Structure 1
Amino acid sequence: MLAPNPNAAPATSSAEVIAHRRTLWRWHFYAGLFVMPLLVVLAITGTLYCFQPQIEPLMYRDRMVVADTHGPQLLRETLLAKAAASEPRGAVPTLAQIETDRARSAEFVFRLPSGESESVYVNPYDGAVLGTLSVEHRLMKQIRNLHRGLMLGKTGELLMELAGCWTLVMIGTGVALWWPGRSNVRKGGVWLPRLSLQGRAWWRDLHAVGGIWIALGALFFVLSGLPWSGSWGKEFKALATSASLGYPKGAWGEAHVHSTAPAAASHEPKQADEHAMHGMQMKMDDLPLHQTPWAVGATTVPDGEIASPSAARVSIDDVVALAAKNGIADDYGIALPMKPTGVYTVSYFPADPRAERTLHIDQYSGRVLSDIDYASYGRVAKWISYGTSLHMGRYFGLANQIVCSAISLGLAALSVTGFIMWMKRRPARELGAPVRPAKRPPMRAWRGSLTLLGMIFPLMGATMLAVWCFDRLAFAARRAAA
């Protein structure tokens, strides 16, 4: 919560100006009161997850890292067979993770009879099984679940979504309270905290100045994270799809964006396309992939061709060769066919969103049924792809991770300083909310902004209405004289 800045231009004696400021402060207080604990969770888990590429190889070095013998590596089909032989009866292979780093082990994911999944790590040089990791219970998966939904399922996802929305209110009111007047040309308390102060004033300066420095980054974090939320994010995907702004063209069946003979494709029977549409059921988000680009997450996976019972499936090594031929070389997942008409799905989710790629490949013929790349995304999906890469600290390497961590930990620090300020000013056994103004100021722009925010985020709109009703009913008798 950004506190009122004592160095702002002196307020006039107008009751309207005083009421205006008290109203902003009150909304800032309510937003911060709800957001503070959740921001701490988001900040810590987000920072840890940002460094996943560095943390996991250190934690699970005995399984993920191998000595490069400079010799030949075994075929991936052979490695998969070695991994399958170590699994209990009834385990089904679902994913092959492809790494070209010769110091990394081969990873395969299996669905166990219990319904859970686990990764099996195999030495690519001698085929020795190095160990396993539970997909659901590994540390980074738990951190991600905490970040997205407090490990509380749908309820937690809604709480985190609301936290993001209310952070928008906290940022807006905080900046408005901090905004210096025209007569204020000093840096102390505006751009730099006055460390000579003591007590609550010292915390207030630290809170207000620190908040303004990270406000823009915090705003970006919220806006880039909400499209992945469990409730509003899914609805936003549907809206972007209906407006042809989100999902890529060619996501259904054959990807005509890559057709070398579009005229010939136009002569294909319409019935074949309709048959393909009816055969699609599984979504990309349902596949056991570690990461899926936002733009293709809700697209359906096409069915492959119906083959004779004796037809042989193309090998994982053939799929890897085909992916390389299509420009996908390293650090991607291959979802394995789960039924006779299933397909191989190659999902490439690199740091540079312009290289994102999704291939659906027939398991018998090796024919590419669908090829979706960044160029085929809608405009909104392109923006979100960039936002996601920056949000996760991937786009410009270690520097991106450091910047994201600084913003995240800065938000946690704001929560701590806001809490301390609240404790210092809160009367015993009272909530300690800022005093309500005796006369309600017009504030048409502010009310219009909140209304618009409530319309864009309906769940937040409902909670804003609840807060407004609570404030009027519980504290109506405590209005201050203006």
Structure 2
Amino acid sequence: MTRFKKVILFFHRWLGLISGLVVFIVSITGCIFCFQDEIQDALYSFRKVEVQNKPYLPPSRIEALFKANYPKANADYIYYYGKGRPAAVLSNMGDKGFYYIFFNPYTGQLTHTERAQSNLFVIVEYIHLYLLLPPKIGGMVVGISVLIFVILMITGIILWWPKRKTDRKRSFTIKWNGRWRRVNYDLHNVLGFYATAIALVLAITGLSMSFEWVRNGIYKTANLGKNYTAEKILPKSDSLQKGFITTQPVIDRGYEIAKQRSPKAQMYLVFNDRSATGTIEVTAFAKTFRYYKSDSYMFDKYTGQLLRTMPHIKKSPGMKMNEMNYDVHVGQILGFTGKIIAFLASLICASLPVTGFIIWWGKRKKSKTKKIRTIVHRKTHKHLQAQGTFRSS
């Protein structure tokens, strides 16, 4: 092994030992989270409703139904999940945490109440993002560990890449009939190689959730350095128009305009910013539970004036890349097939710290055994020399 590769091996080994446990936890929770929508649909009946031949109740009506049950809370976010799906209010209830309140969007019947932090997959997501630590600390630990993992994948390819063409066939396959240590070695190297491309994509999209500089980097790279200032300027409501009288609730007007301009959207999110100059934003998503391909509309909360329209087709490449981040990270950008790919890649990523540790431990034991044998051999040799068994020529 060359001196360069010895240095690479040193860093690969010790960085792997430092980040291994976190990478394992993040990867395993990523596996579980990939199919969270499908699993929850199978387990919970409240996630579906009978389709009726009439329009959904408007946001103001959903908000009123919510207020009737929770008068001291605000309907911060209102979701319309699509045909055959409920409407839901996500509300921050202070010390109680965030709650989802589900309604039948046709009748207004309250169908389910759920504390977000009690949902199994929300817990899995918090472990994945923060290791159940305070978000700032946990996010930093996870982010740094994933960053180290990116370095490990690159150094792993450098160490693994075969020198000779004759070695390549052997390097691309697992020798299943070999001794268990050889199989473990192949699992670490071969599976690591095959998963690297997907794992790098998952890692980078994960890093963009932890570090703003990664998001900005993706944005600037995709835009080739070009600035799109209109995307970064957020309009404000005119608080001087607070007493303005409208014939229709502003929140309903915004929702209707979004439906008219994005008629093919399957899911809508209505967000009411409660600050004095905050706006009402309606986002229309092309597909249910998919966050890529969305049109957004922002309205003055007092007058109902449309302040900004941001259709998907007019967004910059950088903005599109950042908005598809979640869908790419969980694999759903490619539908169910993409989820399977992300699941398998995450599973392999979870195995790498384990197989890597076994390789390191085995070499450590082998080195210690060799050292002991050398010491015993030297002592025996000296003892025999002292007895005159060996004579110098």
TM-score category of the 2 structures, normalised to the smaller one: 0.7 to 0.9
1:251 — aligned with what?
231
Distance in 1 (alpha carbons) for counterparts of 2:312 and 2:85:
28
1:422 — aligned with what?
360
Distance in 2 (alpha carbons) for counterparts of 1:379 and 1:106:
31
2:241 to 288, 303, 307: 307
Distance in 1 (alpha carbons) for counterparts of 2:12 and 2:285:
38
Distance 1:147 1:308, change over 3 A: closer
Show the 5 A alignment for 1:105-116.
105-112=86-93, 114=95, 116=97
Uncovered stretches (5+) of structure 1, i.e. residues with no partner: 1-16, 254-299, 431-482
Show the 5 A alignment for 1:155-166.
155-166=137-148
1:83 — aligned with what?
66
CA RMSD between the two structures = 3.1
1:325 to 260, 263, 274: 260
Question: Structure 1 residue 181 and structure 2 residue 181: aligned?
Answer: no
Distance 1:246 1:391, change over 3 A: farther
Distance 1:383 1:77, change over 3 A: closer
2:91 counterpart SS class: strand
Show the 5 A alignment for 1:3-402.
17-61=1-45, 63-68=46-51, 70=53, 74-87=57-70, 89-101=71-83, 103-112=84-93, 114=95, 116-152=97-133, 153-185=135-167, 187-188=169-170, 190-230=171-211, 232-233=213-214, 236=217, 240=220, 245=225, 248-251=228-231, 300=234, 302-304=236-238, 306-309=240-243, 311-312=245-246, 314-327=249-262, 329-339=265-275, 341-348=277-284, 350=286, 355-402=293-340
List per-residue Cα deviations over 1:79-123 (Å, max 9, x = no partner): 332222111x4111111101231x222211233254733111112
CA-CA distance at 1:224 after TM superposition: 2.5
Answer 1 or 2: which has greater helix percent. Answer: 2
- Partner amino acid, structure 2, of 1:307: Q
CA-CA distance at 1:371 after TM superposition: 1.7
Distance in 2 (alpha carbons) for counterparts of 1:356 and 1:107:
19
List per-residue Cα deviations over 1:110-160 (Å, max 9, x = no partner): 332547331111123432212211234433332222222212221211111
Q: Is residue 392–residue 401 contact of structure 1 (8 Å, CA) maintained in 2?
A: yes
Distance 1:178 1:357, change over 3 A: same
Q: Which TM-score applies when normalising by structure 2?
A: 0.81
- Partner amino acid, structure 1, of 2:281: T
2:345 — aligned with what?
407
Distance in 2 (alpha carbons) for counterparts of 1:246 and 1:92:
39
List per-residue Cα deviations over 1:7-33 (Å, max 9, x = no partner): xxxxxxxxxx44333222211111211
- Partner amino acid, structure 1, of 2:78: A
Q: How many residues align?
A: 362
Distance 1:121 1:360, change over 3 A: same
Distance in 2 (alpha carbons) for counterparts of 1:228 and 1:301:
25
Q: Indicate the percent of aligned positions where both proteins have the same amino acid.
A: 22
Q: Which TM-score applies when normalising by structure 1?
A: 0.67
